[in-house]
Amino acid sequence: MNKLIFLDVDGVLNCEADWDGPHGDSFSTLDPEKCDQLARVVRETGATVILSSTWRLPFAREPRHKLIEWLKNREVIIHDFTPDLSIRFGWGGSSQPLRGDEIKAWLSTNADKFPNPHFVIIDDDADMLTEQMPFFVQTSFKDNPGGLTPELADKAIAILNQNG
C-alpha cells in the first residue's frame, strides 16, 4: 500500500520555543525530539516523505541540507517535493496558492507511481483543501509543547495505517 507524508517543517519539526533553545540557529532550527517523532511515524507506517514546506524552495538550500542530514541520521529520506505554484498563482493576493493545491498537484502528477495512496499532511497551517482535512494533522508553532508531539505522531500513524 502506498503511504505518503506531506511534511511541513516550521511548526512541525520546530516550534517557537526551539528558536531560542539549544538547537536554535536562525532559519534552520530543528528539534531532535520532533525529528525522532517523524522517524517513528515513518518506521511504524513505512510511509514515503514528500516535503511540502517552504524549505523545499531554492532560497532554503542550506536549511534543507541540514534537514536532509538530520532525517537521514534517523533513516528518513525525503523522496520528493511538492511543486511551487506561487509563480502560477502569484503571491500576496487572494489568488495565492494553498498548500493543499500544491499537494493536490503532486498527487495528480504522481498518480502512476503512487496510485490510491493513504496520506497524511503534517503542518501547522490549515491551508488545505476541504477533501484533505480528514488526512490533516495540525501542529502548532506557538504552543508549548509545539510541533510534532507524541500524541500528534500517534494520530498521523493512525491515519496512515487505517484500513490496512
pLDDT digits (tens, 9 = 90+) for 111-140: 999 999 999 999 999 999 999 999 999 999
3-state DSSP assignment of residue 49: strand
Once rounded to an integer, what is the mean pLDDT over residues 77-89? 85
In this prediction, residue 61 carries a pLDDT of 86
Residue 111 exposed, middle or buried by CB count within 10 Å (0-12, 13-18, 19+) = exposed
Asked if residues 52 and 6 have their Cβ atoms less than 8 Å apart, the reply is yes
**Range with the poorest average pLDDT among 6-15, 94-103, 121-130:** 94-103
Q: For residues 89 and 151, what is the distance between their CA atoms, to the nearest angstrom?
A: 35
Once rounded to an integer, what is the mean pLDDT over residues 11-38? 81
In this prediction, residue 8 carries a pLDDT of 96
Which residues, at least 6 apart from 2, have a Cβ–Cβ distance to it below 8 Å?
48, 114, 115, 116, 117, 118
Sheet of strand 48-51: strand arrangement? 78-81, 48-51, 3-7, 118-123, 136-138
Q: What is the CATH number of domain 3-161?
A: 3.40.50.1000
Q: Where do the domains of the chain lie?
A: 3-161
In this prediction, residue 55 carries a pLDDT of 87
- Regarding pTM above 0.85, the answer is yes
Instruction: Quick: pLDDT tens for 44-62.
Output: 999 999 999 998 988 888 8
Query: 120 - beta bridge partners?
Result: 5
In this prediction, residue 158 carries a pLDDT of 97
Q: For residues 28 and 61, what is the distance between their CA atoms, to the nearest angstrom?
A: 10
